[in-house]
Amino acid sequence: MSDRARSQELLSLWLQLLLMILFAAVATVIALYSDSETMGLESTSNIVDIVVCILAIFVARKVAEPANQRYQFGYAKYEPLMTTVEGILMTGICTSAILSSVQDILHPDPFQAPYLIVIYSGASFLISVIFGVWMRSVGKRTGSPLVLANADLWIVGGWLALGICAAFVASIVLGRMGKIEAAAYIDPAVCLVLSLFFLKKPYDILRDSISDLVDANPYAGAVNAVEESAAAVAEQFHLKGVEWVRVRKAGRRVFVTVSFFEDPTQSLQGMDKVREAVTNEVVRLNPDVDIVVAFRLAPVP
């Protein structure tokens, strides 16, 4: 990633942090004033997002640093570690909100200031979608998966806010129709639905991030581009074949080791030339991947 792209990535993450602090402050005030379960979930999830935003800025800076004697593969693992923390925090918040919502459904407790919630959620929809679309454009320009992932979360969060807005408009209508008891169920019901929906997010996050942390093959069960290019190179340089291709992923970086079988009857000088040419060709075909190429004499039949 170029210096300009990295600065744009950091700018979008800093703007995200500032916007998230604003959302969290407003949501917390409304939650305390209205005694709304939905706004309580919104407030606590925003606070978690602030922590994640700070971690994202730290990670975006750290992964750009070169490898050193202590971290010989660089800092790519920081990215899945950050998302694992996010997944664990979100799981705890959603579980707590589900239990609280069920309690409120069994024992309805009227909430206050539905108009404030409608205004907040309506504004949240507009701001989140607009900011998410802008972040997506930045992510595409910079090639940053971190920014692209956050952009998608903003857009999804915006549409969820629109759903909250519609639900609380319905509660206002029910209240004006004199159905106060029915309106009281709107808040815990919306909070319960949102919590169940949000649970999928930490599940996906934890599944992917833990796979990265334990070096699972991200392409298991499928022939990937690296394997295809390795087979093509082996044929191009008349090697005896590909012994194996090992792939691991750490955040935005993919590490690959390819082992080729070479002809044991070839001269040492000839093998050296082939090794250099094969290594250069494999790297050229996979410029965005950290590749190590190894060679082994083919077993004599």
pLDDT in tens, 216-253: 877 776 567 778 888 888 888 888 888 888 888 877 67
Do residues 42 and 167 make contact, with C-beta atoms less than 8 angstroms apart?
no
Asked if pLDDT for residue 191 goes beyond 80, the answer is no
Residues 156 and 62: their CA atoms lie apart, in Å, by: 28
Q: Where are the domains of the chain?
A: 3-213, 225-297
Q: What integer pLDDT is reported at residue 109 of this predicted model? A: 64
Residues 247 and 254: their CA atoms lie apart, in Å, by: 7
pTM over 0.75: no
Report the percentage of the chain scoring pLDDT > 90. Answer: 8
Mean pLDDT computed over 98-107: 72
Res. 182 pLDDT band, cuts 50 70 90:
low
Q: What integer pLDDT is reported at residue 287 of this predicted model? A: 73
Mean pLDDT, the chain, whole residue set: 80
Superfamily of domain 225-297: Cation efflux protein, cytoplasmic domain (3.30.70.1350)
Mean pLDDT computed over 261-273: 75
CATH of domain 3-213: 1.20.1510.10
> Buried b vs exposed e over 204-233: b needs ≥16 C-beta within 10 Å?
ebbebbebbeeeeeebeeeebebbebbeeb
DSSP string, 22-55: HHHHHHHHHHHHHT-HHHHHHHHHHHHHHHHHHH
Number of CB atoms found within 10 A of residue 195's CB: 23
User: 219 is written with which tokens?
Assistant: 């392409």
Higher pLDDT: 162 or 145? It is 162
